[in-house]
Amino acid sequence: MTKAEAEEIYIAAIMSGESVIAVKMTEREVKLFRALTGRIQKEMENKNRPLYLQSREYGIEYADPYAIIRKRDADRYEMFAVTKEGFSPLVRKEGCDGESGE
């Protein structure tokens, strides 16, 4: 797999907006794909910031014989505020994703 092939696959998956994408690869190709996507993200951080911010929401895992590019669930961790009365659930506001609006 070349860097250009990895970039084409990764960017197409991110731009699709789907939450789960499967790409048929061997385990060895998935390891290389992960390394190449790390390099791709470093380049995107400077050259295409909006796409970089979107790409940070995705993770890559291997499920024989597929590489699974999965969008992470923003609410996967339950959060609480600590008060004198104890814990109270922390409610996330709409549009608040923890990223600055620069």
Helix/strand/coil for 67: strand
Alpha-carbon dihedral sign for residues 62, 10, 54, 102? positive
Instruction: Establish if 98 belongs to a structural domain.
Output: no
Q: What is the pTM of this model?
A: 0.69
pLDDT tens for the chain, 102 residues long, are 899 999 999 999 999 989 999 999 999 999 999 999 999 999 999 999 999 999 999 999 999 899 999 988 766 677 888 888 888 888 766 555 555 444
Instruction: Establish if 70 belongs to a structural domain.
Output: yes
Going by C-alpha positions, the residue among 98, 4, 102 that lies closest to residue 56 is 98
Asked if residues 58 and 14 have their Cβ atoms less than 8 Å apart, the reply is yes
**Domain extent at residue 37:** 3-89
Question: What pLDDT does 95 receive?
Answer: 53
**Count of domains forming the chain:** 1
Instruction: Establish if 95 belongs to a structural domain.
Output: no
